[in-house]
Structure 1
Amino acid sequence: MIALHDLLLDDDACNTPVCLDGALTLDRAAFRSRVFALAAAWRAQTEARYALCIDDPFDFACAMFALLACAKHPVVPASHSPDYLASLSEDCDAIITDADLAGLQGGIAPETAHAIDADAALTLYTSGSSGTPKPVRKTLSQFDAEVRTLEAQWGALAGNATVLGSVPHHHIYGLLFRVFWPLAAGRPFDRALCLDPRQLDARLAACDAGIVVSTPAQLARWPSMTGFASLARSPRAFFSSGGPLDADTARTYRATFDAAPLEVFGSTETGGIAWRRQDRSDAWQALPGIAVERDTDGALFVRSPHLGHHDWHRTDDAVDFDADGRFRLNGRLDRVVKLDGKRVSLPELEARLALHPYVARAAVSVLQNASRQRAGAVVALTGEGHAALAAHGRVALTKALRRHLAGYFDLVVLPRHWRFPLALPCDARGKTPAAAIAAAFDARAEGFELLSACRDGDACSLELRVPSGLAHFAGHFPGLPILPGVVQLDWAVRLAAECFDETRDVASIDRLKFTAPVGPGALLALRLSRDPARGRVQFAYRLGRGAEARECASGAIVYGSAA
C-alpha cells in the first residue's frame, strides 16, 4: 500500500500498473507524468475550485491529483447536467471536462516528484434533506484511511485482480473502489465500463483475474442478459453498494458463482460502515476499525477513522442489533432514499417540482414495484397546470414535468408514477401524511384509481383506471368481464360530491345510457358538469384516449332541490 498523498513521490514501483486500456497498460510512471503535465498547465491559473466533469477514470484520476499537487480544490459533482452544475456555481470557479483534457494531451513533465498535503481537501455532493445538493468536504487522509480499511478487509481476496466497474467514479463508492483503492494498493483498474455480461466477459478474458464493482440495480438486471451464466472466467468477487441487494439476486449469484455479492453499506458523509454477504447472513457486520451503536430512537451511531474526527456520528438509518453485534436496517429516519443505487432527497424532488409554473404543491413517495423501488409524485396543479392538463392530457403533462426534473437529477430517480388530484391529501393539522401520499397510487375503496382531476368552474374532468383485479368483475360475466353499470354510476355520484361539495341526497338519475362495455384495465375519462340552477350534475364517461376515445356511459344526477 502507498498513501494517497505519496503517489507523486519517487519510489521503486514506477512499473506498478495503474490502468488497463484495452491491450495497453498504463503504469505509475505514466500516471505521474500525465499528472505533472496537467499540474504545469493549471498551476498559474487564478481559479481555486475546479469541478471535475470527466468520464474517463484515468484522466479523472490524473486531473484530481494534478489539482491537489497545485494546492487547488477538486469538486466532484454528482451529475454533469447543465442545470445541476448551474446550481453549484457558487461552489466552483471552473469546470474541467474530457474535451478540456483532450486539448492538453502530451507535454513534458517538468517534475519528477511532488508531495501532496495529507489534509488536502476535495468536495463531493450528496442529496441533503433540505431540498438542495449538499456539499461534503473530505480530506485525502480520510480517503487514505478508508482504502486501508478496504485493503484490510478484502485485500487478500482481491490480490492482483483488475478492478472492473459498471459504476461511474462521480460518487464516493465508485471513486473509492474504482480509483483510490486500486491506486493505493497497486492494483490496476479498467478504463472501460462493463455495462452488460458480454462486456464483462471480454474484459475478464483480457486480464488475469478481476473483481467487479457494481450496484444492486445492475446486478439484478444482469442474470436476464445474454452471457451471464457462461462467463469464461468468474470474477473473484462482485461488490455492490448504493442500496440493499434483494435476496433473490443474491441467491442467483450464489448459485452461479458460488458466492453472493459483497455488499457495502455507508454514505458520502461516513464512508464505508459495514458489509454483508447474504448467503452467510442478511445482517451487516462493521468493517475493521469501525464502531457502531444504536441510539434510543433506533438511529445508527458510528465512530470511524473515515469521518475525520473521533466523535460519534449519528446517521439517519434506523437499525436493530442482534446478539452477535451485527445489525439490520429498518429504513431511514429522514427522507433521503436510494433508487437504483442513486441517493436522492425526496424534499429536493418536491422543491424542484414546485419551481415549475404548472405545480402549486408536490409530494413524493417511494413505491415498491415487484423487487424495485420507484418514486411516485402527487401534484396539485396551478391554474396554468390545469389548463395544460385540459389541453394536452395527463401523459403530456407528465413528460413536461419529467423534462423539468431531468435538468437536475439522474433519470433513474425521476418519478415513474404520477397523480394529479384537485388537492393534496391532508390531516386535521393540515399536514400531508406520507401514508396518504403512498395511498394515492392504490385503488380507492370504491375500486378505481384516480389518475388526475381538473376543475374549471362548474366543470370537472377526471381520469380513472379500472384495476384488472376489481372485485366487481367476478361473475360479470364469466369469460367476458364487464364493469357493471351500477358501479360506474356509483363512481360518478361519489366524485361529483367531492368535486362540487354536494352534500344532499340524490333524488333521481335522468337520461342514463350505457353505450360501450368497460373491461379490466380500462382508462376512463369522466366529465362532470354542474348545473346549480337545476340542481343536477351531468356526467359522461369516455373510454380510451385521443381520437379513438368513445362515450361508454352518460346521465344526469338530480339532487333533492336546486343548488
Structure 2
Amino acid sequence: MDRPAPLSRLLLSPPAADRPLCFWKDQTLDWGGFLGLLGPLSDKVAAAPPGAYLLFAKDSGLFLLGLLALWLNRKTVVLPPNDLPETLAELAPQTVGLVSDFDPPARCLHLDLRQLSSGAVPVPRLLCPGTPALVLVTSGSTGSPKRVEKTLDQLETELLAQESLWGEGTKGARVYATVSHQHIYGLLFRLLWPLVTGRPFARFAHLYPEELALDMVGPSVLVSGPAHLKRFPQLVSLADFGDKVRLCLSSGGPLDRETALSVAQGWGRAPVEIFGSTETGGVAYRCRQEGQPERLWTPLPGVEVRSDQGQLLVRSPYVNLEGQAEWFLMGDLVELRPLGFELLGRADRVAKIEEKRVSLPRMEAKLLERPEVAQAWLTALESPPGRVRLAGVLGLTQAGWEQVDQTGERALTQVLRDHLRQSFEELLVPRRFLLLPQLPLDPQGKPDRSRMTELLLHPRLPQILGRRSKPEELWVRLRVPNHLAYFQGHFDQAPVLPGVVEVFWVHQYLNQALGRLVAVKRVSGLKFSAPLLPGAVCELQILLAGPGRWSFVYTQGSTRCGSGILELER
C-alpha cells in the first residue's frame, strides 16, 4: 500500500483477499477471511437497536471486527478503559449493549465476538467521516470519568500525519505492541495505523519481553510505553532482537533518560516518545540520543502550540472543538523555545505548605538534575495529623545505587535535600524520600499515585543505612520503619516483622544486585531465632552458596535473627 487508505473509504475498495491483515504466532488472518467474518457480524449489528455500544476485546482482530461492524451500521462505539464489572456497570446506562469477547458481568444485550461464522463479505460502504464515531472514556487529570468524542475525520487526519513521519523507514514492517488498543495511543498506533497502511499487526499484546524476542519476525515496529520499556533491559538482552526493531514508539507517561539511552544503545535506534492526551491525540514527539543535549518536543504536523502564563495550549485538527479554531488548554507547564518546547510538569500539581505554595513538577525537575535520580514524584502528606509536609518517591539510576552502596541511603537523601535548598525554602524541602529501582506505574505507564502514597505512609522496604556489594556477596545495614505496612495485623499490641517479609527483602536486594528480575525456585533452611521490631537496626548478609543458591542471615549485634537459603531460577 503506497499511501494510507482513508479510514472512511477503507471498505469501499479493500485490499486483496490474500493480503495479511493480522497475526498471532504462526497463524495469519488475511483480508479475505476477515471480510468473510465481518459480513455476518455486520448483519447482526444491523438488526440490533440503534444507539451507542460498549466495545471491549483483548484480541485486536476481534476488536477490529466489532469496531467496523458498528461503524458500518452508523452506531457509536464507546471504549471502556478496562473490563472491570464496576466500569461496565457505570457505562451501561449510556449504551444499548456490549460487544465483547467475554461474558458480560450483568444481564444486557450482548453481541459475542467469540461466536462468529464466515459468510458473504459486507456490501462496500462508506463509513461516515464527520459524525462522532468513537467515545473514549478516560479518568482525566481529576480522576472523574470523562467522555471524549472522536470523528473518523480526526482519526484519519492524525493517521496521515503519523505516516508522514514514520512511514518511510517502516515499509513492510509488522506491528507488535505491549499496550492496549482500548486507549487512544494503542488504538491509533497498534491498530488503525497498520490497518490503513497495510502493515500486519499482532492480535494480542506482548506482556513479556522474552516472549516478544522469540515471536518477533523480520522488520518490526514496537508500540510500547515507559512501564514496559524500563523492564526490557532487566529481563532480556536487547541484542536478542537483532536489527528487527525499525521503530520503537513510547507514550502514556514520561520515559526516563536512562531507559531511553539504554534502548537506543541496544537497538541502534532511540525510542520515539509521543506526547499527547485522549482529548488532543498526538501533540508532539522527541527522540533522545547519547551525547546530545536533552531534546525538545517537536509539534506534530498540523499542530500549533503556545503558552499562556506558562501553561501549554494546543490548536490541532485532532481535537474535538467547535469550529476547530479554539485553543485547548493541556494543563501542562511549558517553556517555548525556537526549535520546540520543554515540558515542566503538570500545572495542577501545586502544594501549599504553611501558606507557601510550591510547584511539585518544578521541584521534581530539580531532583532530576541529579545524576543519581532517574524518576521523581512528590506529594504533600498530612503526617502527623494537622501538619502537612512534602515527601517523595525516587527511582534511582545505577549511579544512585552505587552512591547508596558507598555512603548509605541517609547520606544520599541529604545530598538531594541540599540540592533542593539551592532553589527552595527550607520549609518546602521534603522530609522523607522513598528510594526504589523504579516508580510504580499503572497499566498505561503513568505514575500510580495512590500506590506511591500508600508506600510513603506505610512503606514496604526498610531504610538502607549502609550497603556493600561484590559479585558473590551483598551486605546491607538497614532500619525497619516504625510504620511498615507489614506490621498491620501482625500483632497489633506488639508488632513483629513477619519472617516471610525477611525472605521478600532478600529477594528484592538480590534482584537489584543482579540487575534483573529472577524468580525464586525454592526456599530452604529457614530459621527465625529472634524478632525484628519496629525501629530495629540490623545487618543483612547475603552470600553465594552455589550455582543459583544464596544464603542469608539477619543479625542485631551478636544476635542471629533470621537465616535461610534462596535458590533462584537460572
TM-score, reference length from structure 2: 0.62
Check the 8 A contact 1:264/1:274 in 2, yes or no. Answer: yes
1:347-386 paired onto structure 2 within 5 Å = 367-370=392-395
Q: Please say if residues 523 and 544 of structure 1, whose CA atoms lie closer than 8 Å, have aligned partners that are also in contact.
A: no
Cα-to-partner distance string for 1:518-549 (whole Å, 9 max, x where unaligned): x8225379xxxxxxxxxxxxxx9956257986
- Cα 1:187–1:418 change in 2 (3 A) is closer
The Cα of 1:194 is off from its aligned counterpart by: 2.1
For the Cα contact (< 8 Å) 2:6–2:156, is it kept in 1?
yes
The aligned counterpart of 1:422 is: none
Q: Shift in Å at residue 36 of structure 1?
A: 2.1
Give the corresponding residue for 2:240.
230
Tell whether 2:342 aligns with 1:328: yes
| 2:135 aligned counterpart, secondary structure | strand
Residue 122 of structure 2 aligns with which residue? 111
Mapped contact 1:522–1:544 kept (Cα < 8 A):
no
Tell me which of 36, 41, 58 is aligned to 2:39.
Answer: 36
Do the aligned partners of residues 367 and 162 (structure 1) sit closer, same or farther apart at CA in structure 2, a change above 3 Å counting? farther
Gaps of 5+ in 1: 339-345, 351-359, 373-405, 420-439, 442-449, 453-463, 471-478, 482-518, 526-539, 554-563
Cα distance change, pair 160–451 in 1 and its aligned pair in 2 (3 A): closer
1:384-430 deviations in Å (ceiling 9; x for gaps): xxxxxxxxxxxxxxxxxxxxxx9x999983733456xxxxxxxxxxx
In 2 relative to 1, CA 83–367 (structure 1 residues): closer, same or farther, beyond 3 Å? Answer: farther
Asked whether 1:27 is paired with 2:41, we answer no
Match of 2:482 among 523, 527, 546: 523
CA distance in 1: counterparts of 2:118 and 2:128, whole angstroms: 25
Cα drift, residue 227 of structure 1: 3.8
Q: Percent identity?
A: 32
Matched, 1:287 2:308: no
**3-state SS in 1 of match to 2:29:** strand
Pair 1:365–1:214, CA change in 2 (3 A): farther
Q: Sort the Cα spacing of 1:552 and 1:173 in 2 relative to 1 into closer, same or farther, 3 A.
A: closer
State the SS of the aligned residue for 2:223: strand
Return the alpha-carbon distance in structure 2 between the equivalents of residues 275 and 11 of structure 1. Answer: 31
CA separation of 1:43 and 1:414: change in aligned 2, threshold 3 A: farther
SS in structure 1 of the partner of residue 221 of structure 2: strand
Give the Cα separation in 2 of the matches to 1:98 and 1:211. 26
Specify every segment of 5 or more residues in structure 2 that has no aligned partner in the other structure, as ranges. Answer: 103-110, 351-359, 362-377, 398-441, 467-474, 485-491, 500-529, 536-570
CA deviation profile, 1:493-542 (whole Å, cap 9, x unmatched): xxxxxxxxxxxxxxxxxxxxxxxxxx8225379xxxxxxxxxxxxxx995
Tell me by how many angstroms 1:311 deviates: 2.2
> 1:6, 1:116 within 8 Å by CA — same for their partners in 2?
yes
In structure 1, the residue matched to 2:451 is 416
Q: Distance in 2 between matches of 1:60 and 1:364?
A: 47
Structure of greater Rg:
1
Contact kept, 8 Å, 1:524 with 1:541, in 2: the verdict is no
Q: 1:314 aligns with which of 312, 315, 329?
A: 329
In the TM superposition, what is the alpha-carbon distance from 1:28 to its structure 2 partner? 2.7
- The alignment status of 1:4 with 2:20, answered yes or no, reads no
1:172 maps to 2:184: yes
- Indicate the residue corresponding to 2:106 in structure 1: none
Match of 2:257 among 227, 247, 251: 247
Question: Is residue 80 of structure 1 aligned with residue 91 of structure 2?
Answer: no
Aligned positions of 1:535-554 closer than 5 A: 542=494, 544-545=496-497
Q: What does residue 151 of structure 2 align with?
A: 139
Q: Aligned pair in 2 of structure 1 residues 289, 544: CA closer, same or farther (>3 Å)?
A: same
Check whether the contact 1:542–1:550 (CA below 8 A) recurs between aligned residues. no
Distance 2:532 2:160 in 1: 67
**8 A contact 1:129–1:335 mirrored in 2:** no
Amino acid at match of 2:335: D
1:451 shift after superposition: 5.0
Aligned to 1:17: 20
Q: Which residue of structure 1 lines up, in the alignment, with residue 69 of structure 2? A: 66
Question: Residue in 1 aligned with 2:53?
Answer: 50
Amino acid across the alignment from 1:332? R
Cα distance change of structure 1 residues 43 and 251 upon mapping to structure 2, 3 Å threshold: same
Q: Secondary structure at the match of 1:104?
A: coil
Residues 21 and 520 (structure 1), Cα distance of their counterparts in 2 relative to 1, 3 Å cut: closer
Measured after TM superposition, the shift of residue 111 of structure 1 is: 3.0
Please give the alpha-carbon distance, in whole angstroms, between the structure 2 residues aligned to 1:237 and 1:39: 35
What amino acid does structure 1 have at the position aligned with 2:271?
Answer: P
Look up the equivalent residue of 1:43 and give its one-letter code.
Answer: A
Q: Give 1:2 shift.
A: 0.7
Per-residue Cα deviation, 1:342-363 (whole angstroms, up to 9, x for no partner): xxxx99xx9xxxxxxxxx99x9
1:109 CA displacement = 2.5
Indicate the SS of the match to 1:263.
strand
Give the 5 Å matches for 1:260-299.
Answer: 260-279=270-289, 281-296=294-309, 298-299=310-311
SS of corresponding position for 2:230? helix
TM-score (norm 1): 0.63
3-state DSSP class of the match of 1:183? helix
Q: Is the 8 A contact 1:522 1:543 kept in 2?
A: no
